[in-house]
Structure 1
Amino acid sequence: MLWIKALHIIFVTSWFAGLFYLPRLFVNHAMVNDTATVAQFKLMERKLYRFMTPLGVLALVFGTWLWLGYGYTGTWLHIKLALVGGLVVYHLYCGHLVKVFAADGNKRSHVFYRWFNELPVLVLFVVVLLVVLKPEFA
């Protein structure tokens, strides 16, 4: 089961790298206007999203395997699973934004994407604390 845990950590870390970097690309993309740079950002965003999606799926698969194998229970786990569900929605919304940028349909400023970029950091912070501390809630 330690192999499964190691693979889960590897895929979660890799997925988060994409969740951190893709919105950062959106920040920069929202700031540029020249055709060549815009085309480069579109390519980078599309390739990164296509690369990070299987990483997220594998993180979920190995996380589910751990859950079934260890049989974790508790409120901390329910909170963690809700946050992971939120990350999946965030990931899918990033995919929507990739399509919006690809169609030159972005209406938001780089400031919005700077704030949007911080959401997975906050979720990671809370999830790590929940997993390590496994707090009991009354």
Structure 2
Amino acid sequence: MRDGLLIIYPWIKALHVMAVISWMAGLFYLPRLFVYHAERGGIGQGTAEPGRSFAVMEDKLLRVIMNPAMIVTWLAGLTLVATPGVVDWGSTWPWTKAAGVIGMTAFHMWCAGERRRIAAGQIAPGRRYRMMNEVPTLLMIVIVLSVIVRF
């Protein structure tokens, strides 16, 4: 098994990076859709249900792109961690990266919960979503510095 993981390591790493890019794109965009929904959702030009377009986009982004990307990110990441010689658990960086990824997952869950609340008609002011839109950026900085600089 060890040799098998070493052989497929570059492929798993490539898959991991692609999944992270997809996941992050969704984490950056979904709160922005929440802002638009909160601030412009009631301005429907000829639609029977104002804000319906935003609700559909939010739902599909979460279900079709973000959820699968998060799952692949986690599975590929855990496979990379299981590859011999990849992680030095005596260093600080794997722990700060893990904390960042757990934070990113918690933010993903917040987004999913918020999408359900918005679908139920309980939409917060756009300012709240604008502030929350900064969270994935901060977590990304922690994760990238942890992996690249390995502090």
Question: So what's the TM-score if we normalise by structure 2?
Answer: 0.85
Range moving further from structure 2, 28-37 or 82-91: 28-37
| Residue 83 (structure 2) pairs with residue 58 (structure 1) | no
User: Relative CO higher for 1 or 2, CA cutoff 8 Å, sep ≥ 6?
Assistant: 1
The number of aligned residues is 134
Task: List 4+ stretches of structure 1 deviating above 6 A.
Answer: none
Aligned to 2:99: 82
Shift of 1:82: 1.0
Structure 2 runs not aligned, ≥5 long: 1-8
Secondary structure in structure 2 of the residue aligned to 1:47: helix
* Distance in 2 (alpha carbons) for counterparts of 1:115 and 1:19: 13
Structure 1 runs not aligned, ≥5 long: none
* Distance in 2 (alpha carbons) for counterparts of 1:79 and 1:130: 6
Larger radius of gyration: 2
Range moving further from structure 2, 18-27 or 32-41: 32-41
Question: So what's the TM-score if we normalise by structure 1?
Answer: 0.92
1:83-129: per-residue Cα shift (whole Å, max 9, x none)?
111111110110101111111111x2111111100110111112111
| Residue 112 (structure 2) pairs with residue 95 (structure 1) | yes
Task: Please give the residue correspondences for 1:1-138 in structure 2 after superposition, counting only pairs within 5 Å.
Answer: 1-32=9-40, 33-35=42-44, 36=47, 37-51=50-64, 52-69=66-83, 70-72=85-87, 73=89, 74-106=91-123, 108-135=124-151
Identity of aligned residues (%): 39
The structure whose residues are more often helix, as a share, is 1
